[in-house]
Amino acid sequence: MTMMDQLTHRGLAQLATKYGGLLHLQMGSLHVVAVSTPEMAREVLQVQDGIFSNRPANVAIAYLTYDRADMAFADYGPFWRQMRKICVIKLFSRRRAESWASVREEVDLTVRTVMKKTGVPVNIGELVFSLTRNITYRAAFGSFSHDGQDEFVEIMQEFSKLFGAFNLADFIPWLGWIHANEFNRRLARARESLDEFIDTIIDDHLAKKRGNTEGKLDGVEVESDMVDELMAFYSEEDASATKKYVDDSQSGFKINRDHIKALIMDIMFGGTETVASAIEWAMSELMKSPEDLKKVQQELSDKVGLTRFVHESDLENLTYLKICIKETLRLHPPIPLLLHETAEDSVVSGYRIPAKSRVMINAYAIGRDPSSWEDPDTFKPSRFLNDGAPDFKGNDFKYIPFGSGRRSCPGMQLGLYALELSVANLLHCFNWVLPDGMKPSELDMEDMFGLTAPRVIRLVAVPSYRLTFPLKV
């Protein structure tokens, strides 16, 4: 328990250099296993994927996800498979055009926002967090005006604090009473706030559904959002049974309000901070490496031209941009510690790991493993031009920015699209210089530990317009 400050992605990476790629820690009654090398990751995520496919949930997570009624923290099994299927096919699919349209439109609005600030310092960290928040909020709730967004962000911020808060009951259950009262009051207030917010949205969607005929409401075309997609599976009947089994009857799989709330929370967490952090890190790494930045902008000039924005169809032709993003995700994976839990006793590399052990797969350490990568701490995009360079699919265990196996990120394609289109347009439309004469070598690249690992100091830079056509703002 005296090592709590070392249980970060960086701290565990340091411990791995001393103790190896499979490290056991005893935290009260909890067994914790840290996995820090590609070989150990393969054993856990591929060879024994079925045993390691559960997610751990502390007291706060279990309560705030309505007893794991979501996809991110549900145990592996029939219920989880149905929830993932809904997410992959109905929410994140390329066929769901509204989600992808929200990316294009919000990126366009962000470019116009920056245009108003040319010549003055812009906080890129805040800018891109606002961008990804708008994208996910619109995709989830269909609100172009972002009404109620500030309230919802406050709710999510409190959830994030509670998810990561130290709670003695998670490690020594019989001592949990020591600070339980205030902690439990915070949990109850947070969940009540989410209930009020999303219940109103669900009721609005039910009313819309009743008055909606063939995609129209009062004769006006209605844009579908993620809540609409989830309402197709909605039923208040037999709510307690939904999590216990998969209904194979003619009515099909059904979910209730708790599932919708928990899934929306997954989407907002998974689509906002992770993507925003990746965009900010990509911009930071390129500004710290002017030669690579120059190559990306030259490629944009050659492949897109200076008379228009970057379109979705251009992305496939932007090879150097793509490898810069791959290299960014190697150094700064969106979620540095991938959390798993053992469903039963297992043996890895000759060591017994008990059931219900918490397994932390250190994607950060694996991406910087010196036995897998030359100059592992150096930003060197050209390494991804080599034959046999790994991709995002999760089959090469030295590179797992989106995880691997059954619990890999279901929204990877949509997240990558938002990342690539945002970085491409910010670099294509504007030249960026650091403020107050700061040199690229002086840029602070420290990260902050949390569910994601954003920059400690937000990236601030001064834009100047780069294209040749006048942009109306």
What do you get for the CA distance between the two ends of the chain, in Å?
54
Shortest CA distance to 196 belongs to which of 261, 144, 240, 134?
A: 261
The pair of three-digit structure tokens given for residue 105, joined into one six-digit string: 């439109």
Shortest CA distance to 402 belongs to which of 92, 103, 15?
A: 92
Q: Please name every residue paired with 22 in a beta bridge, in sequence order, or none if there are none.
A: 35
CA atoms of 258 and 322, how far apart (whole Å): 38
CA atoms of 51 and 40, how far apart (whole Å): 14
Helix %, strand %, coil % of the chain (to 5): 55, 10, 35
The pair of three-digit structure tokens given for residue 52, joined into one six-digit string: 């390691």
Kindly report the length of the chain: 473
- Is 409 annotated as contributing to ligand binding? yes
The pair of three-digit structure tokens given for residue 31, joined into one six-digit string: 């067994």
Give Cβ neighbours of residue 162 (< 8 Å, ≥ 6 apart). 60, 64, 186, 187, 190
The answer to whether the CB of 205 falls within 8 A of the CB of 231 is yes
The pair of three-digit structure tokens given for residue 424, joined into one six-digit string: 């491409």
440 to 61, 82, 286, 437, 443: CA distances (angstroms): 40, 48, 9, 10, 6
Give Cβ neighbours of residue 79 (< 8 Å, ≥ 6 apart). 242, 243, 244, 245, 246
The pair of three-digit structure tokens given for residue 174, joined into one six-digit string: 């019989």
CA atoms of 338 and 359, how far apart (whole Å): 8
Which residues participate in the annotated binding site for heme? 409
Which residues participate in the annotated binding site? 409
